[in-house]
Amino acid sequence: MTGEPVLLTCDSGGVRTLVLNRPHRRNALDAELWEALRSALVDAGADRSVRALVLTGAGDAFCSGADLPKRPSTAHPLHRMRTLTEVTLLLHELPMPTVAKVTGVAVGAGWNLALGCDLVIAVPEARFSQIFARRGLSPDCGGTWILPRLVGLQQAKRLALLAETIDAGEALSRGLVTWVVAAADVDAFTDDVTARLAAGPPVALAQTKALLNENTDRTLREALAGEARAQAVNFATADAPEAYAAFAEKREARFTGRWAVPTRTEDDA
């Protein structure tokens, strides 16, 4: 594997796919892969042609967590955690919808990266574990933030404290994955979901994603104020009138996210 890229990137139809590419280590995250993923997420967030993003793993695993070094690192743990923190925030705050395609194990930081995506598609053979306690560690990559929001506090404690492995069926029943799809169909299913996301109104979807993420710990009054601000921005794009026109003309809408407010001229001053 020496010299081969640790992260593969592919663009198709507005969908960018990032493939963790260390199958010989079940896509465990070493320093090189963490840095490659950080750079890729920065690039995706800045590229307006990317309308949806898929995160997956090469081979028969999604990600087996952080790669344990053969020799102890001399770097301070806080410095080592900085990259993990940056990657987690970048993933959660990407403006486009994100989809994790889990075709094998998703363990520790690997599972929390999958949970950091907006939607999770898993095959029946997928397995999940907050393995940290077995390593003498606490969950990272946002696990302690997102797990209670998805499954409630007691189930989050069960997963984190006992470090049990659960299958795709239980993950689905607890809201930890969005769909379970047969391995033979998962690529086509993912392509269909992401094509629909990429065809959506990019500005409105970005704001919807941000509102849903932010409003889990806001009051109703704060949530309503945020929704009002988002709609004001949405109505200033060409997508809202395009949606009305498409409905009236019985056709599919063509969303662009283009700003449609007239440009101010000197005569307006």
Q: Report d(CA 268, CA 246) in Å as an integer.
A: 32
pTM of the complete model: 0.89
Residues 6+ apart with CB under 8 A from 11: 17, 49, 50
Write down the CATH number for the domain with range 202-260.
1.10.12.10
Q: State the pLDDT at residue 267.
A: 55
The CATH class for the domain spanning 7-198 reads alpha beta
Element (H, E) at 107: strand 105-107
Q: State the pLDDT at residue 104.
A: 96
Q: What share of the chain is helix, strand, coil (3-state, %, to 5)?
A: 50, 15, 35
Per-residue pLDDT of the chain (269 residues; tens, 9 = 90+): 445 799 999 999 999 999 999 999 999 999 999 999 999 999 999 999 999 999 999 999 999 998 876 666 666 667 778 888 999 999 999 999 999 999 999 999 999 999 999 999 999 999 999 999 998 889 999 999 999 999 999 999 999 999 999 999 999 999 999 999 999 999 999 999 999 999 999 999 999 999 999 998 888 888 888 888 888 898 899 998 999 899 999 999 999 999 987 766 555 55
Q: Report d(CA 26, CA 62) in Å as an integer.
A: 7
Strand partners, 12: 15
What are the sequence ranges of the domains in the chain? Answer: 7-198, 202-260
